[in-house]
Chains A and B, each alone.
Chain A
Amino acid sequence: MNRARRYIVGGVAIVASIFVFLVPFAFIILTAMKDKKQAALREFSWPKEIHLWDNIVEVIETRDYQLLTAFVNSSIITVASVTLLVIFGAMVGFVLQRRPSRWTKIVSFFVLAGLIMPPAVVPTIWLMQSIGLFKTMHGFVLVQVAYGLSFTVLLFKNFVSTIPRELDEAAIIDGAGPVRLFFQVVLPLLKPVVVTVIVVQAVAIFNDFTNALYYLPGKQNVTVQLTLFNFQSQFLTQFNLLFANILLITIPPLLVYMFFNRQIVAGMTAGAVKG
């Protein structure tokens, strides 16, 4: 591509991206900075006075620091679920790819089923209640793991096939058992796809609203998405606070992204090479 086109195409794309992608974010930030009256006008304008800090403090203080409880809960849920997903998902993906057996087809079928089937919510609530998992954080973590497994297994299975079997063989000749082989040899090699899984699942679980609504009622268990949903009715006339809340809960996924940005593209490219 010649120099002029490089600038023209890029320039057009940048201008378009400002309207399509930056304006909505600017709208969130600007509204979060306004006072109650100005925010209610729904305008895209510079705030008369900047109230960002006041709004943030007010949102955090609402209902006895509910948002902080929510941040702690959401973080615990996200970290625990993603950890289990990575370990259990990689174990399945590894064996599934390496050892064809009569199980392979069955497992593949369930992986596919898990990807397609909408979860049966009411029976799940009924079941969790009868085994004492309903309304508990650990129960919710297990639900997230159950729902996220299919996609995770798929990613791992496909990536495992890019790791040469010779490495396994060498480790086995060195006397490694299956656990050591997996955790010390294979898992480290899966790093690019582990990063992809972490980012995708962490964002999905942190941002999950529907499942939290179903499985985690109650004040102590509130998650960040639920606070947003609850505040939506409470802050009906206070767009400034509502958008300050949106801003706050977007920060963690943003940090995850900034942290892993390079690895994501690398991981996906690496995963796609054999496509």
Chain B
Amino acid sequence: MTAELSAPLAGVRPLNRARPQLVTAYPSWFYLPAALIYGVLFLFPTIASLFFSLTRWTLFDWTFIGLGNFEQFFREPFLFQGLVNTLIYGVVTSGAKVVLGLLLGLLLTSDIIGRGYLRAVVFFPVLVSTVGVGITFTTMMHPTQGLLNESLALLGIKGPGWLTDPRFALLSVAAVDVWKGVGLATVIYMAGIVSIGSEYYEAAKIDGATAWQRFWTITLPLVKPATVTVVTLSLIGGLRSFDLIWAMTKGGPGFTSDVIASVIYKQYQAGFYGLSTAGNVVLFMMVAVIIVPLSWFLNRGETDR
């Protein structure tokens, strides 16, 4: 939510000098309740998944098959498609959220009429359930009767099958994802923009900088923490995304809008528990391989300071 996501992601931050007399005021057992829940219900299953991904598993009993599941997973002809789709989806949604979120953030912190209304309306989709949004847009994107194509028809344009044409399905879902999530990015940017001291702008004005120059040399660098937060959060969300895709296309038509998370779910549905768990491990690796270096890169400047 706030820009400080950056710090723990980098894992480095100058440590506060310990003051021994205060240590007892901050007891380690404060970690305990959270650690217990997290350890049992998140950490343990995750570690167990490393084992079960190497088995053929029916929940009662398992057969150890080594790397067979991973081999199978990478041989699935649609898995490669799912991998590429996952990347496209993550990059497109997080890129669009950064650009649109920043623009909307600037707009909604400037002095315009209807600002309160606009802030509310941009944020509102964040509150609606993903399944509800999915159903609504699926209905509006119907190729022949949907609102979208009927409106385009009024302009004399024959709209495509947004969710049924393999060329558009994934991007249409991504667009809805952006529609639903841009409000959160906007609010993060608004918070970042508001916190920039007005003295910077005053100084720039005295120097005769144009609005464009002020944006480029002051706003953009100084909202970087907000950008880091938006990029990281939306990329993690995008790569793991499942709900909206499932509610809108179920990975279809065919396998053309499948992402790794939906492939995993389908294997789970089919009762291939070991294979599904292996998919989980693959997804985890993929997210880690992208996010960890990225956040290190984005936070480099911070630690230099």
**A234 CB-CB contact with B under 8 Å:** no
Question: How long is the Cα–Cα vector from A103 to B32 in the complex, in angstroms?
Answer: 12
Cα distance, A8 to B194, chains bound together (Å):
23
Q: Does B203 contact A (CB under 8 A)?
A: no
A57 CB-CB contact with B under 8 Å:
no
**B59 on the interface (CB 8 Å rule)?**
yes
Q: Is the CB of B48 within 8 A of A120?
A: yes
Bound state CA distance, A57 and B221, in angstroms? Answer: 54
The digit string for B245-287, where 1 denotes a CB below 8 A from any CB of A, is 0110000000000000100000010000100110010011001
Q: Does A168 contact B (CB under 8 A)?
A: yes
- B4 touching A158 by the CB < 8 A rule? yes
CB pair A268–B287 under 8 Å, yes or no, is no
Whether A269 pairs with B194 at a CB distance below 8 angstroms is yes
Rounded to whole Å, the gap between the CB of A246 and the closest CB of chain B is: 4
Q: A117 contacts B131, CB within 8 Å?
A: no
Which residues in B have their C-beta under 8 angstroms from that of A53? none
11 contacts between A and B (CB under 8 A): A42-B140, A88-B34, A94-B26, A120-B45, A124-B41, A126-B45, A127-B48, A196-B1, A210-B246, A264-B187, A275-B225
Give the 6 A-B residue pairs with the shortest CB-CB distance, closest first: A275-B3, A158-B4, A10-B112, A271-B2, A120-B49, A272-B191
Q: Does A72 contact B (CB under 8 A)?
A: no
Residue B226 lies at the interface, judged by CB distance under 8 Å to chain A: yes
B residues near A169, Cβ cutoff 8 Å: 22
Closest chain A CB from B94 CB (angstroms): 14
Interface residues of chain B, those whose CB is within 8 Å of chain A, are: 1-5, 7-9, 11, 15-16, 18, 22-28, 30-31, 33-35, 37-38, 40-46, 48-49, 52, 57, 59, 107, 110-115, 117-132, 135-137, 139-140, 142, 145-147, 150, 179, 187-188, 190-192, 194-195, 225-226, 236, 240, 242-243, 246-247, 261, 268, 273, 276-277, 280, 283-284, 287-288, 291-292
Residues of A bordering B, CB below 8 Å: 1, 6-7, 9-11, 13-14, 17, 20-25, 27-28, 31, 41-44, 84, 87-89, 91-92, 94-101, 103-105, 107-112, 114-129, 142-143, 145-147, 149, 151, 153-155, 157-159, 161, 165, 168-169, 172, 178, 181-182, 196, 200, 203, 206-207, 209-210, 224-225, 228-229, 232, 239, 242-243, 246, 249-250, 253-254, 256-257, 261, 264-265, 268-269, 271-275
Q: Using A91-B31, A116-B291 as known contacts, say yes or no to A246 and B132 having CB atoms under 8 A apart.
A: yes
Give the Cβ gap from A60 to chain B, nearest Cβ, in Å.
17
Hey, which chain A residues are within 8 Å of B28, CB to CB? 95, 99, 101, 103
Q: Considering only CB atoms, which chain A residue lies closest to B112 in the complex? A: A10
Return chain B residues, CB-CB under 8 Å to A121: 268, 276, 280
Given A107-B31, A253-B127, residue A17 in contact with residue B136 (CB < 8 A): no
Whole-angstrom CA separation of A121 from B46 in the bound complex: 9
A246 to B129, CA, bound (A): 8
Contact partner, A112, options B11, B195, B243, Cβ 8 Å: B11
Do B287 and A269 touch across chains, with their CB atoms under 8 A apart?
Answer: no
Q: Contacts of B195 on A, CB cut-off 8 Å?
A: 269, 272-273, 275
Contact A209 B131 (CB under 8 A): yes
Contacts of A23 in B (CB 8 A): 147
Among A109, A159, A203, A250, which residue has its beta carbon within 8 angstroms of that of B132?
A250
A44 to B120 Cα, complex, angstroms:
23
Counting chain A CB atoms within 10 Å of each CB, the highest count among B8, B115, B120, B147 belongs to B8
Chain A nearest CB, measured from B36 CB (Å): 9
